């Protein structure tokens, strides 16, 4: 109610109160509300008289603020307090019932705002901590008290909620993100500051969402040195009173956050709160922590709920924002170990942009292509050190950093930053200017590069939030367990992958007896597809696709992995199979034979793994009278059987690659092709594409020929067979020692060809290394399987030997030659493969780290790095382990190799392959298992006049290339997960397993190790180590160091200290966890008669 002069009528208040309020209304309340509206989080009433941060555009009014503070202090009686509380309830009630307040309605009537926009205005004002300056200015002075009372009501509820949740004043204030996580992966997030667009003062959009801060704060202090006592340790004498108090508070918070999920399942699932994915051993509750407005209320329809996520921008807004440089597009990566951490690449190739929590990700999932808006600088993340920057690319992001065939995992490192509190600029124009140019200060000056280390070693990392999803790359298929919810029409699926939200599934979609016998499904894996994720819920909605079987069994787990990553498991349709040759056994038509070069009488053979069935490459080597050699690489001519754009070609392009798992292969092509008609099986005529060189013994190429051909392989050699020939050059091999050999070619001829190829390959490799090539090689774990059950019987480290290098060298030579050939003929259509150089800033940080460790590393180029890695790192049993740890460190800055179309990238310098150090490269040698190679074959055939022109435009080739990139990454990830699955079974059946391990990286409360006997990497959390009394962390320049204090065995002995740093040797035990297929590395106590640690 307002008077004609615009003053709020308070005649119904006690007389003295009314007079005082009217006297100070314009002088105090309006300015105080205006100032409060620009605080980035609620503050208590007693702090409202704090002097705000001054800006050039807005003078402060301390006299008025002091008067208002005195006003409040004079009226702190119980009656006045009751009135405020009652007013707050009366004000809040219409909004909670989804009705617009009279204030909003009156203002809307004056401005002729349509009803839909009124609803939007109402929703915008429902947030308790965000009012735009424009909205306040447009309301007039008469709205000041109503706005303040409305603000006060929501603040009071918010404070009650925060007190119950254990939210500190420091957490409520706007500050840079403290994004640390506890060892059990509890969610941590911060507050989003909404951005305001220019020229939109009348269309205010709510941009700020409250996220509950994580309750599991790390026990270590913010200083360089930190001390933590282990929870189970009886000894706390070494801690100060202040540290013990911090530990007690931390324990209380953890006890609160880890209460049983069933205790919090009283509310419905579609509500705002904190998304807390469960582990595989636990099922999710039907709800998370309720918002303050929900306390004591019956849940209404979804329309009455406060949104959890911001609405997406329109395509037009996104397009304009990207053009203006206000928005950034990139691929989202989510850390599998800390699933609240998301990242997208920085356009300037600097440190990745950080997305903190699910609210910032705005319903985007891993691998999605998203558009983000950079948050204000005061919300950027503080990275305490380069070595603790851990983000992710998880093992999902594979880096082909060492060459064309081997890919690398990368993990970045993130620390626990210390929170730094900054007030927000309250002038709208200034705020917009800072959002548009985050490198400007309040005075308009340019800030220093955020990645530049501060004097204390801290680095700022940009943070952002998702405003649009360009492409949903994630399959939206989720493997998990079903949880029955009492009195709910739906069940809840708890995903195995914690990066995915929990999903509500209608009971009608569940097994018929699930609602009555839900306990029978406790250990049953289901696959579910996300169909919707409402903006007002932390939980997605989905539909069950299939019941996979019991968790812990290899086949259900394998099927779950394949479906979750979108691998096509379906049988090939009749339409596809109708594209295959009908007359079997198939023979090469005479007409086709006449078009090709006949090489069937040449000594041509294959070298592959012993279990391979899709043989797509063969080799030949014939010495010429002049002492040179005629060397041939012969590749299966798959494109002959795939007519462009028919059903077979379409399914092959969709699958894009074969997927290799430990126990089976999901083929790209029907088995009739990949194992029979295209496979270069011995003693059978097959169609091929051949590259034949005349080459000197030193590896100098004198001539080159491309063409379609026909071959007949004389023998199928395994790598073991070829290695035996290389290692025994003088030996006379018998027929019994080798597979069946074609009668036209004696064993000695084959042996001689292998030796000649090995000799030439060594020279070619030497030339490449001298020319600056790089190979980052990590050893691979392989398994021996029971032929009937396909269960692992043993495991071993796969050895990469000279026979492997022989084949690789000639495949590289063929790929490079083909790349130059097709690019010369089709400069706008060629499908090539590029490898961008590593991120310069990360390489600089790595160089500093190596210098401090005393490792002589030259990272200036690929060749220099390769030379440094192959320089002796010692001459003992641990040299290979040190090299592997160092290789892992060097792989982090590397970027992925990518297929691309040359017509899209105009700068030829971008075509270069960094690891191989060649200007042009492509994939030509594996068309049975890679669709990109088929496109290259078609281009090659067209260039030679022995095939039709490619029926694709530049844009279509680029689209195919992008799809091949995605599926190649998925294929590698699935292969890694399959290996992890089988090793988990092996540990469960044969464990515990003892092994030495070498430390690869150190964080403030954990460290990563390379288990030397099995070449697996595991993280060890100090708080989980049994027998540990305490531990402390300190920084030594760029490196981190942990000191573990082991409890004394008896009163007569002193505690044992163990120092953990990079290259430290420790003893570990691999043990199966309670969760199916999971295992952990347990740190063993160092022996008393040895030094506390061994350094290598």
63/46 Cα distance (integer angstroms)? 16
User: What token pair was written down for 908?
Assistant: 């030829």
pLDDT at 89: 57
pLDDT tens digits, one per residue of 1012-1056: 999 999 999 999 999 999 999 998 877 889 999 999 888 888 889
Which stretch of DSSP H or E encloses residue 550?
A: strand 540-550
Q: What's the CA gap between 792 and 82, in Å, rounded?
A: 71
pLDDT of residue 203: 40
Q: Identify the pLDDT of residue 348.
A: 80
* Structure confidence at residue 1052 (pLDDT): 82
pLDDT digits (tens, 9 = 90+) for 274-303: 333 333 333 333 333 333 333 333 344 444
Q: Which residues have CB under 8 Å from 116's CB, separation 6+? A: none
Phi, psi of 436 (to 5 degrees): -75, -25
Q: Which of 899, 924, 947 shows the shortest CA–CA distance to 644?
A: 947
Max CA distance (Å), the chain: 118
Structure tokens at 175: 């500050």
Q: Is the pLDDT of residue 800 over 70?
A: yes
The pLDDT-based confidence of 87 (bands split at 50, 70, 90) is low
**Cα–Cα distance for residue pair 625/658, rounded to 1 Å:** 42
pLDDT computed for residue 552 by the predictor: 87
| Highest mean pLDDT: which range of 667-671, 797-801, 991-995 | 667-671
- Asked whether residue 1005 carries a pLDDT value surpassing 80, the answer given is yes
From residue 425, give the alpha-carbon distance in Å to each of 38, 48, 342. 8, 17, 27
Of the candidates 145, 118, 132, the residue with the CA atom closest to the CA atom of residue 32: 145
Instruction: Identify the band that residue 861 occupies on the pLDDT scale cut at 50, 70 and 90.
Output: very high
Helix (H) or strand (E) holding 685: strand 685-695
Q: Name, of 267-276, 434-443, 602-611, the range with top average pLDDT.
A: 602-611
Distance CA 480, CA 502 (A): 9
Closest CA to 194 of 131, 137, 128: 131
Q: Are strands 792-798 and 780-785 parallel, antiparallel or unpaired?
A: antiparallel
- Kindly report which listed range (588-602, 712-726, 1074-1088) carries the lowest average pLDDT score: 1074-1088
pLDDT in tens, 501-544: 999 999 999 999 998 999 999 999 999 999 999 999 999 999 99
The candidate with the shortest Cα–Cα distance to 619, out of 884, 354, 803, 404, is 803
> How far is it, in rounded angstroms, from Cα 259 to Cα 252?
11
3-state secondary structure string across 31-90: HHHHHHCCCCCCCCHHHCCCCCCCECCECCCHHHHHHHHHHHHHCCCHHHHHHHHHHHHH
pLDDT greater than 60 at residue 181: no
What pLDDT is stored for residue 981 in this prediction?
94
- The overall average pLDDT reported for the chain is 75
**Kind and range of the H or E element at 974?**
helix 954-990
Q: E strands, 287-410, where?
A: 327-331, 333-334, 341-344, 353-356, 369-374, 381-383, 398-399, 408-409
Query: In the predicted model, what is the mean pLDDT of residues 985-993?
Result: 91
pLDDT beyond 80 at 481: yes
- pLDDT category of residue 648 using cuts at 50, 70 and 90: very high
216/350: higher pLDDT: 350
Residue that is written with structure tokens 């844009």 in the block:
955
Q: Which of 105-114, 526-535, 773-782 has the lowest mean pLDDT?
A: 105-114
Q: What is the pLDDT of residues 832-846, one digit of tens each?
A: 999 999 988 889 989
Which of 78-82, 213-217, 553-557, 926-930 has the largest mean confidence?
A: 926-930
Q: Give residue-wise pLDDT tens across range 64-78.
A: 444 444 544 555 455
| Helical H segments across 580-670, by residue range | 590-594, 647-655
């Amino acid at each position: 109610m307002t008077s004609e002069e615009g003053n709020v009528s308070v005649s119904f208040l006690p007389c003295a109160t009314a007079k005082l309020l009217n006297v100070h209304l314009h002088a105090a309340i309006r300015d105080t509300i205006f100032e409060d509206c620009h605080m980035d989080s609620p503050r208590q009433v007693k702090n409202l008289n704090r002097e705000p941060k001054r800006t050039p555009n807005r003078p402060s009014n301390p006299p008025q603020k002091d008067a208002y503070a005195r006003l409040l202090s004079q009226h702190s009686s119980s009656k006045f307090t009751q009135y405020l509380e009652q007013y707050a309830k009366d004000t809040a009630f219409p909004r909670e019932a989804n009705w617009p307040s009279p204030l909003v309605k009156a203002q809307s009537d004056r401005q002729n705002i349509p009803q839909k926009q009124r609803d939007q205005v109402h929703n915008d004002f429902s947030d308790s901590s965000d009012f735009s300056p424009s909205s306040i200015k447009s309301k007039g002075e008469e709205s000041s008290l109503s706005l303040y009372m409305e603000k006060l009501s929501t603040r009071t509820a918010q404070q009650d909620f925060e007190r119950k949740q254990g939210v500190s004043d420091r957490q409520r204030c706007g500050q840079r993100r403290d994004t640390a996580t506890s060892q059990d992966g509890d969610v941590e997030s911060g507050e989003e500051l909404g951005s305001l667009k220019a020229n939109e003062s009348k269309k205010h959009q709510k941009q700020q969402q409250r996220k509950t801060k994580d309750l599991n704060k790390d026990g270590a202090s913010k200083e360089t040195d930190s001390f933590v006592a282990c929870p189970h340790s009886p000894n706390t004498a070494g801690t100060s009173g202040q540290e013990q108090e911090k530990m007690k508070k931390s324990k209380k918070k953890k006890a609160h956050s880890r209460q049983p999920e069933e205790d919090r399942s009283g509310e419905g699932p579609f509500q705002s709160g904190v998304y807390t994915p469960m582990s595989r051993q636990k099922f999710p509750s039907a709800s998370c922590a309720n918002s303050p407005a929900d306390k004591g209320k019956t849940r209404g329809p979804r329309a009455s709920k406060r949104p959890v996520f911001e609405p997406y921008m329109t395509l037009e807004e996104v397009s304009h924002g990207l053009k203006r440089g206000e928005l950034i597009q990139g691929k989202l990566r989510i850390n599998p170990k800390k699933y609240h951490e998301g990242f997208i690449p920085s356009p300037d190739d600097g440190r990745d942009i950080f997305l903190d929590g699910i609210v910032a990700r705005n319903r985007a999932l891993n691998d999605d292509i998203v558009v983000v808006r950079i948050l204000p600088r005061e919300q950027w993340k503080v990275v305490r050190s380069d070595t603790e920057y851990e983000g992710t690319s998880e093992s999902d992001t594979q880096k082909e950093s060492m060459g064309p065939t081997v890919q690398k995992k990368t993990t970045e490192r993130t620390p626990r930053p210390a929170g730094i509190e900054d007030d927000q600029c309250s002038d709208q124009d200034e705020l917009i200017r800072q959002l548009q140019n985050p490198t400007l200060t309040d005075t308009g000056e340019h800030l220093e590069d955020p990645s530049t280390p501060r004097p204390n070693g801290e680095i700022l990392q940009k943070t952002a939030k998702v405003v649009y999803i360009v492409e949903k790359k994630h399959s939206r298929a989720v493997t998990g367990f079903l949880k029955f919810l009492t009195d709910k029409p739906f069940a809840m699926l708890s995903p195995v992958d914690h990066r995915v939200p929990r999903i509500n599934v209608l009971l009608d979609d569940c097994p018929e007896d699930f609602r009555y016998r839900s306990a029978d499904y406790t250990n049953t894996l289901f696959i579910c597809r996300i169909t919707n994720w409402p903006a007002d819920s932390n939980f997605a909605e989905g539909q069950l696709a299939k019941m996979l079987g019991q968790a812990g069994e290899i086949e259900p787990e394998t099927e779950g992995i394949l479906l979750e990553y979108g691998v096509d498991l379906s049988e090939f349709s009749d339409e596809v199979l109708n594209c295959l040759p009908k007359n079997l056994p198939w023979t090469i038509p005479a007409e086709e034979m006449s078009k090709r070069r006949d090489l069937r009488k040449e000594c041509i053979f294959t070298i592959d793994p012993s279990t391979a069935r899709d043989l797509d490459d063969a080799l030949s080597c014939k010495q010429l009278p002049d002492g040179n050699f005629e060397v041939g690489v012969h590749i299966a001519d798959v494109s002959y059987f795939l007519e462009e754009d028919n059903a077979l070609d379409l399914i092959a392009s969709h699958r894009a690659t074969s997927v290799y798992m430990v126990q089976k292969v999901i083929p790209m092509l029907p088995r009739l092709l990949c194992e029979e008609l295209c496979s270069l099986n011995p003693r059978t005529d097959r169609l091929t594409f051949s590259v034949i060189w005349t080459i000197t013994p030193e590896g100098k190429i004198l001539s080159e020929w491309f063409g379609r051909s026909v071959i007949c392989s004389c023998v199928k050699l395994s790598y073991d067979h070829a290695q035996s020939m290389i290692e025994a050059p003088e030996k006379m091999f018998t027929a019994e020692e080798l597979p069946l050999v074609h009668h036209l070619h004696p064993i000695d001829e084959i042996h001689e060809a292998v030796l000649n190829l090995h000799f030439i390959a060594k020279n070619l490799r030497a030339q490449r290394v001298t020319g600056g090539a790089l190979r980052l090689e990590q050893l691979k774990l392989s398994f021996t399987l029971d032929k009937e059950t396909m269960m692992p019987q043993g495991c071993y480290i796969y050895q990469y030997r000279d026979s492997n290098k022989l084949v690789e060298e000639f495949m590289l030579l063929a790929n490079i030659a083909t790349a130059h050939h097709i690019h010369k003929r089709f400069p706008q259509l060629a499908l090539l493969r590029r490898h961008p150089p590593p991120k310069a800033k990360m390489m600089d940080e790595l160089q500093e780290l190596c210098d401090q460790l005393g490792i002589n590393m030259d990272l200036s180029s690929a060749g220099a790095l390769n030379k440094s890695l192959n320089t002796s790192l010692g001459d003992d049993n641990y040299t290979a382990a040190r090299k592997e740890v160092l290789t892992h460190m060097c792989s982090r800055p590397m970027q992925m190799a990518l297929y691309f179309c040359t017509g899209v990238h105009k700068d030829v310098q971008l075509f270069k392959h960094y690891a191989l150090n060649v200007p042009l490269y492509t994939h030509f040698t594996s068309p049975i298992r890679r669709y990109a190679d088929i496109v290259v074959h078609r281009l090659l055939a067209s260039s030679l006049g022995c095939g039709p022109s490619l029926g694709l435009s530049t844009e279509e080739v680029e689209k195919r290339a992008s799809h091949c990139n995605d599926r190649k990454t998925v294929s590698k990830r699935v292969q890694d997960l399959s290996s992890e699955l089988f090793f988990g079974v092996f540990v469960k059946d044969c464990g515990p397993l003892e092994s030495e391990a070498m430390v690869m990286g150190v964080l403030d409360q954990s460290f990563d190790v390379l288990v030397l006997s099995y070449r697996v990497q595991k993280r060890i959390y100090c708080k989980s180590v049994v027998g540990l009394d305490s531990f402390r962390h300190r920084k030594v320049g760029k490196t981190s160091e942990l000191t573990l204090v082991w409890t004394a065995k008896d009163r007569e002995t002193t505690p044992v200290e163990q120092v953990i740093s990079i290259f430290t040797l420790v003893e570990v035990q691999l043990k199966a966890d309670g969760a199916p297929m999971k295992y952990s590395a347990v740190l063993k106590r160092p022996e008393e008669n040895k030094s506390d640690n061994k350094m290598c």
